[in-house]
């Protein structure tokens, strides 16, 4: 129906390749975009244990501050954690390995961010209003350096805008 009204020439025989002046798409749920998926995995750090898979994805995520300078050590840290064979790890275990300054998988920037994250998370009350939780979630993400690992593409920026709008 839109074609009939907006590009009536598309109805003529032999007319195949026209650029439509509109775009209809369902898009993905926000959680399926990598930048938002990383935010959700970060909130998983608040649990007692996190899956090795989730931690690995976070360590390799370009959406965490310091990724550009610690990309290789973070990948090595992921490999080190996998060598242990544990499927679920505590934040304490992650912090321990990241703090090993004599190892190639030492990640001092990540460790600093995790410290800020933990300190802020501990200060969150057990109960609060939805508006306050929204502010706290934003503060937690800022403390750990979410969406600050490298420059964002236009799509990533728009995805973050949509996330913040929700």
Contact 20, 7 (CB under 8 A): yes
Which ranges constitute the DSSP H helices of the chain?
A: 2-6, 34-44, 52-59, 67-83, 91-98, 108-122, 130-144, 154-165
For residue range 98-154, list pLDDT tens digits in order: 999 999 999 999 999 999 999 999 999 989 999 999 999 999 999 999 999 899 999
Phi, psi of 157 (to 5 degrees): -60, -45
Distance CA(105)–CA(85), nearest Å, equals 17
The token pair that represents 156 in the structure block: 């990533």
Contact 107, 98 (CB under 8 A): yes
For residue range 34-69, list pLDDT tens digits in order: 999 999 999 999 888 999 999 999 999 999 999 999
The model carries a pTM of: 0.79
């Amino acid at each position: 129906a839109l074609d009939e009204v907006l590009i009536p020439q598309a109805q003529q025989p032999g007319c195949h390749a026209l650029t439509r002046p509109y775009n209809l798409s369902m898009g993905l749920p926000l959680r399926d975009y990598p930048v938002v998926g990383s935010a959700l995995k970060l909130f998983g750090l608040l649990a007692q244990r996190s899956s090795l898979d989730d931690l690995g994805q976070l360590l390799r995520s370009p959406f965490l501050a310091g990724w550009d300078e610690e990309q290789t050590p973070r990948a090595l840290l992921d490999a080190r954690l996998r060598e242990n064979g544990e499927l679920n790890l505590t934040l304490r275990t992650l912090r321990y390995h990241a703090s090993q300054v004599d190892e190639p998988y030492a990640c001092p920037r990540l460790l600093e961010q995790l410290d800020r994250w933990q300190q802020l998370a501990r200060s969150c009350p057990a109960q609060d209003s939805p508006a306050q939780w929204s502010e706290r979630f934003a503060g937690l993400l800022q403390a750990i350096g979410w969406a600050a690992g490298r420059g964002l593409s236009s799509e990533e920026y728009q995805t973050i805008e949509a996330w913040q709008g929700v």
